[in-house]
Amino acid sequence: MDLQCLPADLHLRPALIPDAVEATVTEARAAYEQIFVVYADCGTGGLLAARCEALGVEMVPGPHCYAFFDGLAEHEARAADEIRAFYLTDFLVRQFDAFVWRAMGFDRHPELIEMMFGNYERLIYLAQTDDPALDGQAEEAAARLGLAYERRKTGYGELPGILAQLSSSASQ
């Protein structure tokens, strides 16, 4: 199994994700018998699923990566209670300044924090690893956004099982 990564900042503009995925799938078609998209919906409003179906490729289920890291059923069961939560993964904790703080302009316009996060209550760190330094960074990110902090150890959630299932179906 080979992995082709797309730029993480596509998540800042989800409308661009389906075109980026299509271009990558189209480019890889000649080299691979089967292609799987390891993206959940990620804010595309179903457009990615429709594009994958049109391309004849499978994709990871779920509304976003937080759901499959957290566990799809568990995440859905908590959705109503966590509607005012902002999630971070290990990647986003490491890249908080680049993908949240500067990308949303908080470094230049701190008044935007209240505008964008005023209705949020807590930051939930979906920890894939046990790293005290990342825990500290996640807690600091919550404080910078004015949110209560919660850490939830998820590991990679359903991702390993999803990848194993995709890999198994590819070999049949």
Predicted confidence (pLDDT) per residue in 14-23, tens digit: 999 999 999 9
Q: Read off the pLDDT of residues 27-40 as tens digits, 9 standing for 90 and up.
A: 999 999 889 998 88
Residues 42 and 90 in one domain: no
Report which listed range, 58-62, 67-71, 122-126, is most confident.
122-126
CA atoms within 13 A on the CB side of 145: 30
Residues 51 and 95 in one domain: no
What is the Cα–Cα distance from 164 to 169, expressed in whole angstroms?
A: 9
106 inside domain: yes
2 inside domain: no
90 inside domain: yes
Q: Read off the pLDDT of residues 146-169 as tens digits, 9 standing for 90 and up.
A: 999 999 999 988 888 888 887 777
pLDDT value of residue 171: 67
pLDDT band at 3 (very low <50, low <70, confident <90, very high): confident
Burial per residue of 20-44, b for 16 or more beta-carbon CB atoms within 10 angstroms, e otherwise: ebbeebeeeeeeeeebbbbbbbbbb
The amino acid sitting at 44 is T
169 inside domain: no
Which domain range does residue 33 map to? 8-59
Residues 75 and 50 in one domain: no
pLDDT at 61 over 90: no
pLDDT value of residue 145: 97
26 inside domain: yes
Specify the number of domains making up the chain.
Answer: 2
Q: What percent of the chain has pLDDT over 70?
A: 98
pLDDT value of residue 163: 82
Residues 47 and 98 in one domain: no
pLDDT at 70 over 70: yes
pLDDT value of residue 68: 85
1 inside domain: no
Residue 170 in tokens: 């590819």
64 inside domain: no
For residue 108, CA distances in Å to 9, 139, 155, 171 come to 19, 22, 34, 51
